[in-house]
Amino acid sequence: MASVDELRADRLKKLELLKLAGMEAYPAHTDKDTDIADFQTRFADILAAGTPVTLAGRVMSKRGQGGIVFLDLFDGTGKAQAVFQKDEMDEALFDLFANTVDVGDFLEVRGTAYKTQRGHDSLKAVSWKMLAKSLRQIPDQWFGLKDEEALLRQRYLSILLDEDLREMFERRARFWEAIRSFLHQKGFLEVETPVLETSPGGAEARPFITKHHALDIDVYLRIADELWLKRLLVAGYAKVFEIGRIFRNEGQSREHLQDYTALEFYEAFSDMKKGMQFVQDLYRHIVNEVYGKYTFEIGDHTVDFAEEWPLIDFNDVIRDRFGIDPLTCSANEAIQAARDAKLELGKAPNKARAIDHLWKSIRKTIAGPAFLINTPVYLEPLAKRSAENPDVVERFQIIIAGSEVGKGFSELNDPQDQRARFEEQQRLREAGDDEAQRLDEDYVKAMEYGMPPAFGFGFSERLFAFLENKPAHEAQLFPLLRPKQ
């Protein structure tokens, strides 16, 4: 079997043959006039008319020898068979084709529609030209790329050869389009907010830091766009949303990525209770528009979005499972309960981290969809306190297949309460919790001008990965990988 270098050398020789024959190997222009999908759809009419058409695409397979050669062309819209017969075209042009064209090359083929003896819809070639000569051999569709890292590292080949993978990324595009269309229909304005920040906020996460040379300052890649979007409520917009990239310098897992796409939207004069039905309608719209169904197998769970979504009380489930009350227990009691459950709390354990880890150990058993409610105030610095119980916030999280796949709440719009919670988060940072939030003076200043009561909600592309039943990095087009040594 020839080596990679030998195969490449052979293709370079064919490139020289093209040049000697006076044919450009990488022309800027093509006379293509018909998409392959259109050729397939209108085949009967094209056949009856006998009108020549010009297709273009990548050669995915090449069969035959001597005076007749069959090849499959793929242009991104579909695949078509082209037939080259020596006695049906210029002999020199046929010989050049036979001596220079390989699987992987991009060709322009002009010809007429016809059916083969076996009844295959085909294009009988009368002329051709090279559009791009490939210098590397594409792996075999069935016996080529099998190593998981190679499949991710050379994603362009994986997508080219794997129709299911290509269709998944087409669904991914429809996923975000379904969200946009839903929010547009509800009167929301799509906006873009800064990716570079002087103070990261809106979430509990470790940021990426970079240097802004023009201003000679350190800046952060945003960990959320929440605080920017809520400034727009202060500015007078009633309904805003953003679908954009988020960056968190944290661990990698089946569910977690360091850079990913997320949605956040905010609606003035709404609240958590109104938002719950809105979000339920949004999720059902997504799964119906993209998949045409409501029931999914995700990991070990069966999830039916059409069923009624139950309410799960955060404090009740922890009391029932671990025997401590998240609202009244001490930090030592919470930490000890987490340690008894053999949960890893990190280098700076505190009550909030311990209680959060206890909940996450329970969450894994819940199929959902369900609403998690009544989260303690100390776990959510940006949500409004409940009027019925000021120790909890008006927040819900969507639980699907043992994970949190969406979060919304009645937005905190009391600037004094917001400052106090930011200051508590700052104390946690100074005690060693590098994921605690920072005090954002500018955001508090904006709130002091007056922010309306509002509902806010967000989720990331984790939802799409869950619907596909894939690890998060496999549902990305080009996941980040360590460079090869």
Residue-wise pLDDT for 17-36, tens only, equals 999 999 999 999 999 999 99
Q: How far apart are CA 395 and CA 276, in angstroms?
A: 10
Task: Say what the pLDDT of residue 438 is.
Answer: 76
Q: Can you list the alpha helix ranges (DSSP code H) found in 29-102?
A: 36-41, 43-49, 91-100
pLDDT for 378-433, tens place per residue? Answer: 998 888 899 899 999 999 999 999 999 999 999 989 999 889 888 888 787 777 77
Q: How far apart are CA 277 and CA 398, in angstroms?
A: 12
Lowest-pLDDT choice from 50-54, 81-85, 146-150: 146-150
Q: How far is CA 414 from CA 202, 227, 238, 428, in A?
A: 16, 14, 18, 21
Closest CA to 233 of 462, 454, 469, 419: 454
Burial bucket for residue 72 (CB in 10 Å: 0-12, 13-18, 19+): middle
Task: Say what the pLDDT of residue 145 is.
Answer: 55
Task: Say what the pLDDT of residue 66 is.
Answer: 83
Task: Say what the pLDDT of residue 383 is.
Answer: 84
Average pLDDT over residues 215-226: 94
What is the pLDDT confidence band of residue 200, given thresholds at 50, 70 and 90? confident
- 4-138 is classed in which CATH architecture? Beta Barrel (2.40)
Task: Say what the pLDDT of residue 481 is.
Answer: 85
Is the confidence at residue 267, as pLDDT, over 70? yes
Task: Say what the pLDDT of residue 435 is.
Answer: 66
- Give me 65's structure tokens: 């020898």
Is the confidence at residue 321, as pLDDT, over 80? yes
Closest CA to 338 of 325, 322, 317, 320: 322
Is the confidence at residue 141, as pLDDT, over 60? no
Q: Which residues contact 65 (CB under 8 A, 6 or more apart)?
A: none
Q: How far apart are CA 120 and CA 452, in angstroms?
A: 65
Task: Say what the pLDDT of residue 123 is.
Answer: 97
What is the pLDDT confidence band of residue 253, given thresholds at 50, 70 and 90? confident
Parallel, antiparallel, or unpaired for β 370-373 and 311-313? parallel
Share of the chain above pLDDT 70, in %: 98
Is the confidence at residue 343, as pLDDT, over 70? yes
Q: How far apart are CA 254 and CA 472, in angstroms?
A: 6
Task: Say what the pLDDT of residue 147 is.
Answer: 66
Average pLDDT over residues 234-246: 97
**Structural contact between residues 78 and 59, judged by C-beta atoms closer than 8 angstroms:** no
Question: Where are the domains positioned within the chain?
Answer: 4-138, 159-310+368-475
Is the confidence at residue 130, as pLDDT, over 60? yes
**Structural contact between residues 63 and 69, judged by C-beta atoms closer than 8 angstroms:** yes
Report the mean per-residue pLDDT for the chain. 92
Task: Say what the pLDDT of residue 12 is.
Answer: 97
Share of the chain above pLDDT 90, in %: 78
Average pLDDT over residues 313-330: 95
Average pLDDT over residues 311-333: 95
Please tell me the class of the 159-310+368-475 domain: alpha beta
Is the confidence at residue 347, as pLDDT, over 90? no
Helix (H, G, I), strand (E, B) or coil at 406: strand
Starting from the edge strand earliest in sequence, which strands make up the sheet with 217-221, in order?
Answer: 196-197, 217-221, 209-212
Lowest-pLDDT choice from 84-98, 135-149, 250-264, 411-425: 135-149
Lowest-pLDDT choice from 188-192, 344-348, 455-459: 344-348
pLDDT for 437-477, tens place per residue? Answer: 777 888 999 999 999 999 999 999 999 999 999 999 999 99
How many Cβ atoms from other residues are within 10 Å of residue 478's Cβ?
10
Closest CA to 355 of 381, 328, 382: 328
- Give me 121's structure tokens: 């819809």
- First and final C-alpha spacing in the chain: 26
